[in-house]
């Protein structure tokens, strides 16, 4: 059972365009939603994260939009650059202590290619 569904699997965007990656989750106990960025040959690294007390979080060109009622969240990359070409993973977990807080459940990833 896949608890975090991510789409699209791959995405090609022109330089300067907006990249949008969507995720949907099933477990209503999830309350921490990070996005990880992975470059070829490297390990994933945290890009940006959100908790459901806000509907949007912005850091530079990267924005997370969160819709608690729909159990969906998305990553928007504004003014996409060739250097943003990477694989992006959404994830979800329980933020506090106790069972479920130790683990992240990852989506299957989106390979983003930004062409000049």
Partner 1 sequence: NAGVTQTPKFRVLKTGQSMTLLCAQDMNHEYMYWYRQDPGMGLRLIHYSVGEGTTAKGEVPDGYNVSRLKKQNFLLGLESAAPSQTSVYFCASKAPPGLAYNEQFFGPGTRLTVL
> Distance between CA atoms of 33 and 53, rounded to whole angstroms?
11
**In this structure, what token pair is assigned to residue 68?**
């608690």
Question: Between 14 and 103, whose beta carbon lies closer to partner 1?
Answer: 103
Which residues in 34-63 contact partner 1 (CB under 8 A)? 34, 36, 41-46, 49
Contact flag: residue 30 with partner 1 (CB under 8 A): no
Q: Which residues pair with 70 in a beta bridge?
A: none
* CA-based torsion, 1, 25, 52, 90: positive or negative: positive
> Distance between CA atoms of 109 and 23, rounded to whole angstroms?
10
Contact flag: residue 89 with partner 1 (CB under 8 A): yes
Contact flag: residue 28 with partner 1 (CB under 8 A): no
Contact flag: residue 116 with partner 1 (CB under 8 A): no
Q: Which positions touch partner 1 (CB under 8 A)?
A: 6, 9, 32, 34, 36, 41-46, 49, 89, 93, 95-98, 101-104, 106-109
């Amino acid at each position: 059972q896949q608890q975090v569904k991510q789409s699209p699997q791959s995405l090609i965007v022109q330089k300067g365009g907006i990249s949008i990656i969507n995720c949907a989750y099933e477990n209503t106990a999830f309350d921490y939603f990070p996005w990880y960025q992975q470059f070829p040959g490297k390990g994933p690294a945290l890009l940006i994260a959100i908790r459901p007390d806000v509907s949007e979080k912005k850091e530079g060109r990267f924005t997370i939009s969160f819709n608690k009622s729909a159990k969906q969240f998305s990553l928007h990359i504004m003014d996409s650059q060739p250097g943003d070409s990477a694989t992006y993973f959404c994830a979800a977990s329980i933020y506090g202590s106790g069972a479920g807080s130790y683990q992240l459940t990852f989506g299957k990833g989106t390979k983003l290619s930004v062409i000049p």
